[in-house]
Chain A
């Protein structure tokens, strides 16, 4: 599977991949050609490992945004056995950037909530590129309440550049719904697992991000502000988005070291976009394992532990001592 254009570190990999494809098409291979194919594949694997082990924060942001990375609907297909979409926010409209519905996961009934960025141009426009409006959060809050009422765990897949910045969004209470949603999620008596599958863009991500487990895919990112936004404010130009990304330390590994997330889910070699099936399998394995564990916990313990988990996040000096 080819990766997005324009990522310079993908170029050598794509060249090697093309080479492998060319060698594979020769039906009748001489022993020499067999050897060449094997060697090229080995070189490709080594190079891929090398490139992807060395991605910096800005590279990671660009990988997380790749068009052919698996999106919400891909995971719906590959991870869940069924998805019954529920559209109503009973207030204003059906937000297409934030989707909710019943789903089956390895025989378990769950409420699935997730951002969808869209796969075609038309769909991406409908989804506002994954930027939810207030009605999206109102819808997800009502479905989460329902999940708790009927004893269903909640799975949230986060993939958004941020909540939508627009006139209507402000008029309909963007700040209010994000705040309400975090408050609600912090106390719902049902297991909640949140996974950042691509972009974890600030409040729009955190609005469905308060859970018993918070995980980030290896090459996804999670940040207080977009690198472009940060660069625009602190460096006075968006051209410094790369610097801002590095300063924000938004990669999965650093987020875990900072104690802001629980787990990092490893991606297939060369990123999720190279192997949707394997990525989905790993995500599924993670979700099933965690849900089985969390389902064992008494509900009041679950909510108390969730509180303590977020309670501990933050770093400061107390009384002048470190």
Chain B
């Protein structure tokens, strides 16, 4: 929204905050998973599911075996933070840090639903207590500090808990001289419900990464669908190397905001991983099945 007065008629979000509606679980436009009812963690139950990309109905078991990738078209579907831990880290090596931190409600924020209630509902639905999991673990035998955000928990948005967990992760990695790997799935950017405190987490985590970088740390940032707003405009863009899964939506302003501001159609493939690679903001597009070995190889090249 870039007019003072009169304000434009439609979307005017300067979207560091959520750029896409935080409707319940699966961010509908951002992380299309599949139709059918969606219970826990945004992945539909039932034997079959339909791929949003190619429209094919596929066997759920097969999708799961492929780490939630469509066997027909290769669409990288939603993956929960716990599953991400399972697929990236060596089995049984994850030592979770700061699990005790719980979201507060500093603004007593309420839209149609009080934030406090929203948090409880999201916790129940996802089994997480906030949108990020952090800890230490091994990747093919290499010890790393690992963080992941889950796009199902209030759009994977960053409030005080996510900011604090990631900052502590980076600080400990600095002390222990560990590589940092953060997998982002955050369509929500900085979390509106915690107001200015969420915005400031961007500066806080970035400052920790500045120190980490000066100490010689290696940070690999992995972007997944979707990574937008204040998450894209902070730690997610600060990797020494930035990887992205294929066809993820990645950008600063939400596509709907841009469309409304410019009153024009957006180019084909705008704000996808491939678009960002073409414009020089991503080092490699990495398929989910290759992520583990790609990270391990990078760590080896950098001698960490």
Binding site for B on A (CB under 8 A): 4, 6, 65, 67, 117, 124, 128-131, 161-167, 169-176, 178-180, 182-184, 186-187, 201-204, 206-207, 209-210, 222-226, 228-230, 232-236, 238, 243-244, 247-250, 255, 258, 260, 306-307, 310-311, 313-320, 322
B192 in contact with A310 (CB, 8 Å):
no
**B44 touches A (CB below 8 Å):** no
- Contact flags (1/0) for B178-212 with A, using CB distance below 8 Å? 00000000000011101111111111101111110
A234 in contact with B234 (CB, 8 Å):
no
By a CB distance below 8 angstroms, the chain B residues around A209 are 203
- Contact flags (1/0) for B245-277 with A, using CB distance below 8 Å? 000001111100110011000110011000000
User: Nearest chain-B residue to A66 (Cβ)?
Assistant: B4
B251 in contact with A170 (CB, 8 Å):
yes
A165 in contact with B210 (CB, 8 Å):
no
User: Nearest chain-A residue to B18 (Cβ)?
Assistant: A233
By a CB distance below 8 angstroms, the chain B residues around A164 are 2
Taken together as a complex, chains A and B put the C-alpha atoms of A131 and B15 apart, in Å, by 12
A175 in contact with B252 (CB, 8 Å):
yes
A183 in contact with B164 (CB, 8 Å):
no
A169 in contact with B196 (CB, 8 Å):
no
By a CB distance below 8 angstroms, the chain A residues around B213 are 183
B252 in contact with A182 (CB, 8 Å):
no
For A65, give its contact among B4, B199, B280 (CB under 8 Å).
B4
B14 in contact with A171 (CB, 8 Å):
no
**B22 touches A (CB below 8 Å):** yes
Given A179-B234, A206-B202, A210-B203, A225 contacting B164 (CB threshold 8 A): no
User: Nearest chain-B residue to A181 (Cβ)?
Assistant: B206
B230 in contact with A186 (CB, 8 Å):
no
Number of interface residues of B (CB under 8 A): 84
**B138 touches A (CB below 8 Å):** no
A165 in contact with B107 (CB, 8 Å):
no
Taken together as a complex, chains A and B put the C-alpha atoms of A257 and B279 apart, in Å, by 42
By a CB distance below 8 angstroms, the chain B residues around A247 are 107, 109-111
User: Nearest chain-B residue to A226 (Cβ)?
Assistant: B14
**B51 touches A (CB below 8 Å):** no
Top 7 nearest A-B pairs (CB, nearest first) are A162-B14, A229-B13, A225-B17, A165-B253, A202-B16, A314-B160, A186-B207
Given A179-B237, A183-B238, A234-B112, A250 contacting B195 (CB threshold 8 A): yes
B173 CB to nearest A CB, Å = 16
